[in-house]
Amino acid sequence: MPFASPNSTSGAAHAKAPRIAIVGSGFAGIGMAIRLQKMGITSFIVYEAASGVGGTWRENTYPGAACDVPSHLYSFSFEPNPDWSRIFSPQQEILEYLKRCARKYDVERYIRFDTAVRAARFDDARQVWHLTLARRSEPAGTTETVEADIVIAATGPLSRPEFPDIEGLDRFGKFFHSACWDHDYPLAGKRVAVIGTGASAIQFVPQIQPQVAQLALFQRTAPWVMPRGDHAVGEHARWLYRTLPFTQRVVRQAIYWQLESRAIAFVLQPKLLAIPMGFARSYLERRVTDPALREKLTPNHTLGCKRVLLSSDYYRAVTKPNVEVVTAPIREIVADGIVTADGTHHPADAIICGTGFLVNDVPTPFAVTGANGADLSERWLRDGPEAYLGVSIADFPNFFMIVGPNTGLGHNSMIYMIESQIQYIADCLRTLQHRGARTMELRADVQRAYNAQLQARLARSVWASGCRSYYQTKSGKNTAIWPGFSFGFRRRTRRMRPDDYRFAI
């Protein structure tokens, strides 16, 4: 067998199973851990910086936090939940689902909580990875180093909150990001400024609007908003799903194909977007009767170029008398509010940043050094994040990612993509074992050819229609979106191609 012993630090050449380090315990990390156990592999550890599982669904606890993909599809295919309370389940319900999965499949005993991976470095001589860990219980600056034969990064792209670069923000009295919501701060009766009108803001603004005295909503780009269509799942339906599980599988498939059909317009025929754009404009006109406000809320880009948002109460909230939508650029933040470029002072007691996450033009979540000193952060800062199928990267042997570059979707469930990548990694591990190889490393020419094709396809899609979004680097390269049908991605990841890699015994 090709891998070092789980308890070995001497780099012994052969053993019964690999030592695998999984970084992160959200959907991706838990799903990977479950698959490893099903493969009979138990010599792995999941490193989690926080005190519990859940990833983004653990961190984002802002009022109104919920999924914008129907819950029957936003869940593991092998672990349906017949008891979702709503079509679009709230954050706490999804978090509880992940906790149940971790308990049911005995993943928790493999997790080292409160342990952050700070760096991973490949040892060329011994062909192992050295991981630098920082434990929350240890004094600041204290680290330990462990070895792994294989590293699987499951940290996800939406894990680091982005704060706007605005003069004076760091000196303002009370400000926080939606991903770090301060539940101890009472908003009732306060003057609140919200910066950003993305997916998070569109959920929490309707929740806090009735509480606050005044709400100034600072909008840079008006989003496309579609009605949410959410409602409770009745007890009869839940009984049916519990009693006849195949009925829920039928519902899941119906939702999948309904969402998948949207890729036709996003990728193949952007002209078809005229129909949903007309529907969205009509929805805006019905909900916002004030012409001046409606003009502010009218998007100036093609639907789908940025993330399409779902809400049935956002427009209702922003039309209330205590809400002002501000489109003038912010000049600076002062002690008692925000000053816009036109010189207007907007008083505020608190500022909430709904400004999304660091995705592009930033270092990797932890330092990764591959073969011959290859620096992943340096490479991605220079060229933009790039991988093969979002999983493998040239010069980084035995290093795999889940939800890596260009695997995001604008039309369907990310859990489908996560399960596809888990399948691909599992096949890589089987191939390593079958070949008796110590390491596998993606060929650089394969990565170049794949990404050239990817960018050519993206250039013809709606995501290249002229807007700016977090999908892109500053240079305009789209490093986030998969430009095709999700079933096409699954077909590509069902089996790995050994000729795409170099194997070392």
Question: What is the DSSP annotation of 170-208?
Answer: GGSSSEEEGGG--TTS--TT-EEEEE--STTHHHHHHHH
- Could you report the per-residue pLDDT of 237-258, keeping only the tens digit for each? 999 999 999 999 999 999 999 9
The pLDDT value given to residue 282: 97
Q: Cβ(148)–Cβ(19) under 8 Å?
A: yes
What is the three-class DSSP state of 431? Answer: helix
Residue 203 has pLDDT above 70, yes or no: yes
Stretch 272-281: mean pLDDT, rounded?
A: 95
Residue 5 has pLDDT above 60, yes or no: no
Stretch 305-317: mean pLDDT, rounded?
A: 95
- Could you report the per-residue pLDDT of 212-237, keeping only the tens digit for each? 999 999 999 999 999 999 999 999 99
Question: What is the DSSP annotation of 321-342?
Answer: TTEEEE-SPEEEEETTEEEETT
Residue 14 has pLDDT above 60, yes or no: no
Residue 441 has pLDDT above 60, yes or no: yes
CB atoms within 10 A of CB 142: 10
The pLDDT value given to residue 3: 42
Residue 499 has pLDDT above 80, yes or no: yes
- Could you report the per-residue pLDDT of 343-391, keeping only the tens digit for each? 999 999 999 999 988 888 888 999 999 999 999 999 999 999 999 999 9
Q: Tokens at residue 422, please?
A: 């888990």
How much of the chain exceeds pLDDT 90, in percent?
88
- Could you report the per-residue pLDDT of 448-474, keeping only the tens digit for each? 999 999 999 999 999 988 888 889 999
H helix and E strand count, the chain: 14, 21
Residue 29 has pLDDT above 50, yes or no: yes
- Flag the least confident range among 128-142, 143-157, 166-180: 128-142
Q: Are strands 399-401 and 150-153 parallel, antiparallel or unpaired?
A: parallel
- Could you report the per-residue pLDDT of 30-76, keeping only the tens digit for each? 999 999 999 999 999 999 999 999 999 999 999 999 999 999 999 99
In what order do the strands lie in the sheet containing 345-347?
330-334, 337-340, 345-347
> 169-223+261-353 — its CATH code?
3.50.50.60
Q: Cβ(368)–Cβ(396) under 8 Å?
A: yes
What is the three-class DSSP state of 309? Answer: strand
Residue 7 has pLDDT above 60, yes or no: no
More confident residue, 166 or 137: 166
Integer distance in angstroms from the first to the last C-alpha of the chain? 10
The pLDDT value given to residue 18: 66
The pLDDT value given to residue 138: 81
Return residue ranges of the chain for CATH 3.50.50.60. Answer: 20-53+107-160+358-500, 169-223+261-353
- Flag the least confident range among 52-66, 127-141, 193-207, 483-497: 127-141
| 269 pLDDT tier (thresholds 50, 70, 90) | confident
| 1 pLDDT tier (thresholds 50, 70, 90) | very low
Instruction: Give the Cα separation of 374 and 326 in Å (integer).
Output: 45
| 159 pLDDT tier (thresholds 50, 70, 90) | confident
CATH fold, domain 20-53+107-160+358-500, is FAD/NAD(P)-binding domain (3.50.50)
The pLDDT value given to residue 485: 95
The pLDDT value given to residue 140: 79
Stretch 84-108: mean pLDDT, rounded?
A: 96
**Length of the chain, in residues:** 505
| 15 pLDDT tier (thresholds 50, 70, 90) | very low
Q: Are strands 115-123 and 367-369 parallel, antiparallel or unpaired?
A: parallel
**How much is the mean pLDDT over the chain?**
93
